[in-house]
Amino acid sequence: MPRYALQIEYDGGPFAGWQRQAQELPSVQAAVERALGKLEPGPHTIAAAGRTDAGVHATAQVAHADLAKDWDPFRLASALNAHLRPDPVAILACAQVPDDFHARFSATGRRYVFRLVARRAPVTHDRGRVWQVLPGLDLAAMRAGAAEMIGNHDFTTFRSTLCQAKSPVKTLDRIDISEHPYPGGTEYRFELAARSFLHNQVRSIVGTLERVGAGAWTPADVRVALAARDRAACGPVCPPQGLYLVGVTYPADPFAG
């Protein structure tokens, strides 16, 4: 059976997350599997690089699917997009890949971006796509707090108690925080890169760094919280709507060429 890699963009707002739900709640995985079923009858099970939570978006999720027919990748992407309507899910790219390619286990890195808007007036056009807080964040302080978490650490403090990862130890390669003009305020973008992340790790980190920017925490407090290895030491977990999965890397780009 030929295997295909799919690069997928979606608005996570209407979904209970990427993963198919036992309670038949809407999920991105189920939407794509239904579309595949329109092309080839029968049950389909696809695997993704990251199981994003309810409300989390993606601009470059990667999944793989095994199909019976030898599809032209361009035609497969077009057909899937036709059957995905009106769900806010789109196949951006499709490629036939070797049988040993696995969207999750072959990945060597993942990148997330979190969008935070600081302004007093309610956001309108980006409602459901950013986290809004009051203005007055200190960018330098947030960058200093972020620096405390770069590298290999036990991230018990910054992972959900429901996390199923075998180890809380992860290597955080990068946290870049940039500032951008936004109508009536300022947008802060947090870009985090690692081989893999723990459940709720990004939202826990961003929620804590927002407290640093607001002056409720110091950068040194981040170091203390990390060393505590205690979930109770974490700052508030920020809401999901500002979080985007923006990139997955592999030893060889499946969509190149």
| Cα angle value 100/101/103 (rounded, 5°) | 140
Q: Structurally, how many domains does the chain consist of?
A: 2
Q: What percent of the chain has pLDDT over 70?
A: 100
| Whether residue 188 has pLDDT greater than 90 | yes
Q: 80 in the Ramachandran plot: left (φ > 0), alpha (ψ -120 to 50) or beta?
A: alpha
Q: Is residue 25 part of a domain?
A: yes
Burial level of 137, CB count in 10 A (0-12/13-18/19+)?
buried
| Whether residue 49 is found in the same domain as residue 146 | no
Secondary structure class of 174 (helix, strand, coil) = strand
Structural domain includes residue 241: yes
239 shares a domain with 121: yes
1: confidence class by pLDDT, cuts 50, 70, 90:
confident
Number of H helices, E strands in the chain: 5, 10
- SS3 call for 40: coil
pLDDT single digits (tens) 77-127 = 999 999 999 999 999 999 999 999 999 999 999 999 999 999 999 999 999
Residue 37 lies in a domain: yes
151/206 same-domain check: yes
Report CA 146 to chain centroid distance, whole Å: 18
pLDDT: which is higher, 161 or 245: 245
Domain boundary residue among 91, 106, 121? Answer: 106
Q: Which residues pair with 62 in a beta bridge?
A: 7
Q: Are both 134 and 200 inside the same structural domain?
A: yes
Told to judge if 53 belongs to the known catalytic residues of this protein, a careful annotator would answer: yes
> Is pLDDT of 23 > 80?
no
- Of 106, 135, 170, the residue that ends a domain is 106
Among 52, 86, 106, the domain-final residue is 106
Active-site residue identified among 11, 53, 154, 230: 53
Provide the token pair at 100: 């040993």
The CATH number of the domain where 100 resides is what?
3.30.70.580
**Displacement of CA 137 from its chain's centroid (Å):** 24
Q: Assess whether 63 and 77 both reside in one domain.
A: yes
Residues spanned by the domain of 74: 3-106
Asked if residue 24 has pLDDT above 90, the reply is: no
**What pLDDT is stored for residue 199 in this prediction?**
95
Host H or E run for residue 224: helix 219-228
Give the DSSP letter string of 84-145: HTTSSEEEEEEEEE-TT--TTTT--EEEEEEEEEE-SSPPSTTTTTSEEE-S---HHHHHHH
Indicate whether 139 and 240 sit together in one domain.
yes
Are 132 and 242 found together in one domain? Answer: yes
**For 48-59, what is each residue's pLDDT tens digit?**
999 999 999 999
* Sign of the dihedral through C-alpha 161, 163, 166, 170: negative
Q: Are strands 109-118 and 131-133 parallel, antiparallel or unpaired?
A: parallel
- Do 61 and 115 lie in a common domain? no
Domain assignment present for 68:
yes
- The predicted-structure confidence for 114-163, as pLDDT tens digits, reads as follows 999 999 999 999 999 999 999 999 999 999 999 999 999 999 999 999 89
Tokens of 166: 């075998």
Residue 256 is assigned to a structural domain of this protein: no
Residue 252 lies in a domain: no
Confidence band of 42 (pLDDT split at 50, 70, 90): confident
CA 213 to chain CA mean position, Å: 23
pTM: 0.96
Same-domain pairing of 79 and 93? yes
What's the chain's average pLDDT? 97
Q: Is 233 helix (H, G, I), strand (E, B) or coil?
A: helix
